[in-house]
Structures are given as structure tokens and as C-alpha cells.
Chains A and B, each alone.
Chain A
Amino acid sequence: MWTQEEILVLLEKVKDPEIPVLSLLDLGVITQVQVTPENKVVVNMTPTFSGCPAMDYMRKSVEETLAAAGVQEFKVQMSFDKPWNTNKITPNGRKVLQAFGLAPPPVYQVIPDLDILEHTTCPYCHSTNTTLRTPFGPTLCRAMHYCNNCRQMFEQFKPL
């Protein structure tokens, strides 16, 4: 019998293809892992950005990882039931993003207002003297900012 813990350890190895240091667990897209009494592993996932081309890749990586570890029977399903937002990125995920040079999204209490995009902390020099340049970056999940302190552009994992 597989245990949920064993499956979680396996899934820790599956990374976001666009941010190869960030695991899918830390990204928060794996919403549930279950092992049925028949030893079948069921993984529920939820998409980040709806048009994100990496989602299908992520699902396949999870399936390949399970298969490679010898899990005989599994099902990986996508659903909007527990919609993802950037608050679901774990504290460890935020640390990893910062170290990767990508400003982590701020944690918010109520539905985020766009003001929270202003004065994003620069991942290089930690200044908050920064300006949002465009909410659209090289991938759907990134916004572009300019740091007025160290005078360079930086990317942010944008809050959603």
C-alpha cells in the first residue's frame, strides 16, 4: 500500500517547468492527494492561469513521476473546484522564488486590489522604491517592474 506521505515525497520532485526551482506542491496547484483502499493514487490539480500552456505539461510530469516510482494505478485530474490563487504558494515557495530572482507575490487578505502591485520589493537589492512597468511579462504569471534603486528591471510572480 502507498501512503499519502510517500506520494507527497514523490511529488516534491515535480517542478514548475517555467520556474525549475519551484515544486508543484510549493506552487499550490496540487490540491489533494488520496490513496484509495484499492491502492489507487488520486491526485487533484488546479490550473494557475487558465491559458497557461505549462499546465498540461505539469499534469504529465506528475503522471510520469508516479509511473516511474512504480505506482501501478493512478489518476491525475484537473478541476476548478478549489481555484488556485497566489496565496496558495507556500512560505517555502516564496523563499525559493526570491532566491530565483523573481519577486514573490504579496499575501493578501481580501480580494487583491491592483495597488498591491506598486512598490513591490526588488528581489536584488530589497528596495521598495520600484515602479510597475507592465502586468504582462515573458510568461502569463509574471509582471515586469523597474527598481529605481539598483536601476534594473525585475520580474514578479504576479498576485492573482
Chain B
Amino acid sequence: MNEQAIKELLYTLADNQLVLGHRNSEWTGIGPILEEDIAFSSMAQDKLGHSLAFYALLYELGESDPDTLAFMRNPSQFHCCQLVELPIGEYDFSLIRHFLYDHAEAIRFEYLTQAGYEPLAKVATKLRGELKYHLLHANTMVKQLGNATAESINRLQQSLNDAFPYALGMFESSPYEAELASAGIFPLESQIQTQWLENIRKVLAQTQLQLPDLESVMPVFGGRRGVHSEYLQPLLDEMAEVYNLDPNTEW
């Protein structure tokens, strides 16, 4: 088995969770209502926990320790998709991003529990239970607000249109994916995308929201190979700043 292929997959998983976890944590204290404030903070904590678990697997494969991986790399060394880097925007944008992202993540984790690489399968088995609650939250809120007032529907629709090209960027292929797929470790991104579209369509069909036309949308790729938006560097600076205040803090 190609270790480089496993590492690239782990970096992608970990970096996505880390960066979105940090974005979600920005809602702490400013959520539109207390329950949402708590929800985003809790999901942030889970996602940071997940990234740590994946970085720990990388460490076992000879990479740097989790803190160094999380806080000491340059943007070009990050494998996250651009969707997770974008600023939190208004609540409707963060909700839509959370909905689009966690539906993909849930599918990934289901496959990971079957991964022919045991350490990863174990971690995924452990973490998928938590993800289920993220999905429940996203579906509940999207169904609620996607059927509420004209304003909430319009706002969500606009955010969906804005986020969708970036969401398609979550399924950027890697040079290793064919190898991982044939080794029974992880399926092709295109397969995950197909399932994802099916799943989000089911939820959106219960709302007044329309999925943008796939044909007319250009996916924003690049993140997985280190090409990022202008928003990643400031976010990493901010994360590192907190870390550098006291590198020995346990969190």
C-alpha cells in the first residue's frame, strides 16, 4: 500500500475538519439565538476533535506532531477545500455551508468505517456517531428556515447559490484516488459526489429551495493541492496566534 496516498487522504480529512471547526467556533457568543450559538460551538469542538484524531494518525505514520501540523504549516501545505475557508458571513451562509459540508462528510465517514486501513476505520467508527447529530441539526434548520418567511427562503437560496460552486470543490480528485479505490480504502470522489447530490436533493425537496443547475456551475477546485482563497492565510495566522500565546495549553 502506498503510504503517501494514505497520508494525502488523512491530510485532506484533517485539514477540512480543522478549518471548518475554526470557522464554526467564530459563532461562539454571536449566534442569532442561544441554541444556535451552542450548536455551532459544539460542532466546532467535535470537528476540532476529529482533526486531532486524524493528525494523530499522521503522527503515527511519521509526520510532525498534531500541534505542529495544525498550527505551523503554510496555506500551500493545507489540503482543505476552499468551501471551509470562506468567512462565516451571515448565519444563512454558515448554515448552508454546514448543510452541504456535513452531508458529504457523513458519506465519507460511512466509507471510512469500511476502510481497508484499520487505524482509520477505527477512528471513523468512533467519530461517525457525532457526525449524525451535525447532520440532524443541518437538516432540521434547513427544513425549518427553507419553509419559513420569504426573507429566510431568499436568504438561504442566495447562500446556496453562492456556496454551491465551492461545495462541488469538496469533491476534488487526488492523484492517489484510483489507487485507494482499488485497494478498498476509499472510493472515488465522483462516487461520493453522486451520493451527496442524491442526499441533499431529498432534503431540499422538502423546502422551497432550489438546487442550482449543475451544468451551469463551475466547481472551485484547487484546495486539495494547496491552492487556496485569500481567506485561509488570515485564518491560519489567527489560529497560530492563539496557539503561540501558550503552546502548552491542552485543548
Contact = CB atoms under 8 A, between A and B. Distances in A.
Interface of A: 47, 49-53, 56, 80-81, 83-85, 112, 114, 117, 133-138, 140, 143-144, 158, 160
Interface string B231-251: 000000000000000000011
A117 B76 CA distance: 42
Contacts of B126: 47, 50, 80, 83-84
A50 B136 contact: no
A136 B53 contact: no
B143 interface: no
A11 B109 CA distance: 34
Contacts of B136: 114, 117, 135
A136 B251 contact: no
Contacts of A53: 45, 251
Contact of A50 (B52, B122, B251): B52
A160 B52 CA distance: 20
B55 to A, nearest CB: 12
B122 A136 contact: no
A141 to B, nearest CB: 10
A contact face: mostly helix, strand, loop, or mixed: loop
Interface string B24-39: 0000000000010011
Contacts of B52: 50-51
B49 A51 contact: yes
Contacts of B59: none
A140 B45 contact: yes
A124 B133 CA distance: 25
A140 B42 contact: yes
Interface of B: 35, 38-39, 41-43, 45-50, 52-53, 122-123, 125-127, 129-130, 132-133, 136-137, 250-251
Contacts of A47: 126
B213 to A, nearest CB: 31
A49 B46 contact: yes
B40 to A, nearest CB: 8
Contact of B39 (A51, A85, A136): A136
Contacts, number: 69
A50 B50 CA distance: 6
B46 A83 contact: no
A156 to B, nearest CB: 12
B182 to A, nearest CB: 27
A140 B130 CA distance: 9
Contact of B250 (A49, A52, A56): A56
A27 to B, nearest CB: 16
Contacts of B39: 134-136
A84 B35 CA distance: 27
A160 B133 CA distance: 9
A117 B129 CA distance: 13
Contact of B46 (A51, A84, A137, A143): A51
B130 A160 contact: yes
A55 B64 CA distance: 23
Nearest to B134: A135
Contacts of A85: 129
A137 B35 CA distance: 8
Nearest to B122: A80
B35 A138 contact: no
Nearest to A142: B42
Given A50-B52, A138-B38, A81 B130 contact: no
